[in-house]
Amino acid sequence: MNYLIPFLILITVVVFIHEYGHYYFAKRYGVGVTDFSIGFGKEIFGWNDKSGTRWKVCWIPLGGYVKFFGDRNVFSESEQLEIINKYSEEDRNKLFILKPLYQRSLIVAAGPFANFLLAIVIFTMINLFIGKDMTPAVINEVQKDSPAFVAGLKKNDKIISINQNRVESILEVSTFINISTDEKIEFVVLRENQEISLYVQPILMESKDALGNSQKKRMVGIKLIPLNNEFQKNPLNPSKSIYYAFKEVWFVSTTSLKYLGNMLLGNADSSQLGGPIRIAKITGQVAEFGIVPFLSIMAYISISLGLINLFPIPMLDGGHLMFYLFEKLLGKPLKQKTQEGFFRIGLFLLFSLMFFVTFNDLKDLGLF
């Protein structure tokens, strides 16, 4: 129960923002919206607004949807020719499928990009009012016979970059090491006012994160301690706050895509990919540390939701955008049977992914 409430708050906010992105642009372009749902299944409670939209919360809190006027289902897959003649000219103006291609594309893309925007706002507020850590990454200890020792890293070396990722904070070192899938990691360090490049071959070890969860991490055998054991967290001005917020969203997005690519190629640990159970667990653990860590994990989950929805898989926003690309190239929409074939493939892929992440979640709980 300690994990459930923070998880429900997080998922409700992230899903609402996503669906509101769709809703906002749909209303902007005159599309009728009949339902705005947080969750799936039977309705718990809801209300109708002045325009006739039913706003509701349902029992299964693992997503949501916006249903457009004239749709046969929540995935907006109505056959155009069959439904056009059913409506008056006034009602036809509300139909999503009759809107210009660019408007339909913007309405669909607005959901994922609303998630990115939420993350940018959260990171900007944290940078502005709490600050961003700028503690120099200076090596305090190199363990004997460790990969770092063998490579030539020394105490008091200041780490400038890791695999061409500039290190601006001591907190980034572990992240840059673990996102790398190369056999050797390039460290650029400052030693006696000279920059030196060294290549370290990390080892994979089982360890526990700050929340006490077991995970496999790449280790090089160095210890970093901030000067006087104090982190340099400095509030930033508005422009820098926004800049670093965009930078973080871009970094998380590109890193996640690279990790997934390497995982599919067998070069990354697939056991780290989790689903709702692991998200709920981590959310509850992070929430115990306060509002700022909770908002941070909300931003990261929001980025993940935005990215996943942009994948070109039917049933996801990216799948719709893929169909619109075909429509642009062919000059007409794909045939309904073709779309249905794609949807069957998409359904299989989504169920396979759900099975895989659920298995990882249950394994993480010690049930396998």
Same domain, 119 and 139: no
Strand-strand pairing, 194-200 and 185-191 = antiparallel
Q: What is the chain's pLDDT, residue by residue, as a tens digit (368 residues)? A: 567 889 899 999 999 999 999 999 999 999 999 999 999 999 999 999 999 999 999 999 888 999 998 775 433 444 556 666 777 778 888 988 889 999 999 999 999 999 999 999 999 999 999 998 888 889 999 999 999 999 999 999 999 999 999 999 998 998 899 888 788 999 999 999 999 999 999 998 876 665 566 677 889 999 988 766 667 788 899 999 999 999 999 999 998 888 888 777 777 666 667 777 677 777 777 878 789 999 999 999 999 999 999 999 888 999 999 999 998 998 888 777 787 788 788 878 877 877 777 766 666 655 55
288 is catalytic: no
Rounded CA-CA distance 277/274 in Å is 8
Q: What is the CATH number of the domain that holds 222?
A: 2.30.42.10
Same domain, 97 and 201: no
User: Which ranges of the chain would DSSP assign to H, the alpha helix?
Assistant: 4-28, 80-84, 89-92, 101-125, 147-151, 172-179, 238-264, 276-287, 291-310, 317-330, 336-364
Rounded CA-CA distance 34/94 in Å is 11
Q: Name the burial class of residue 220, with classes exposed (0-12), middle (13-18) and buried (19+) by CB atoms within 10 angstroms of its CB.
A: buried
- Catalytic-role residue among 19, 89, 172, 192: 19
Q: What is the pTM of this model?
A: 0.87
Number of domains present in the structure of the chain: 2
What does the DSSP 8-state code read for residue 2?
T
Same domain, 125 and 138: no
Same domain, 9 and 123: yes
**3-state SS record for 137-181:** CEEEEECCCCHHHHHCCCCCCEEEEECCEECCCCCHHHHHHHHCC
Same domain, 105 and 158: no
Rounded CA-CA distance 201/136 in Å is 23
Same domain, 138 and 210: yes
Same domain, 19 and 125: yes
Same domain, 196 and 313: no
Last residue of a domain, one of 186, 214, 234: 234
Residue 220: give the domain boundaries.
132-234
Instruction: Specify whether the backbone of 179 is left (phi greater than 0), alpha (psi in -120 to 50) or beta.
Output: alpha
Same domain, 14 and 106: yes
Last residue of a domain, one of 209, 234, 259: 234
39: which residues sit within 8 A by CB, 6+ positions away? 15, 57, 58, 59, 60, 61, 62, 63, 64
Same domain, 163 and 125: no
Rounded CA-CA distance 75/104 in Å is 13
Last residue of a domain, one of 234, 257, 289: 234
Residue type, 50: K
Same domain, 96 and 22: yes
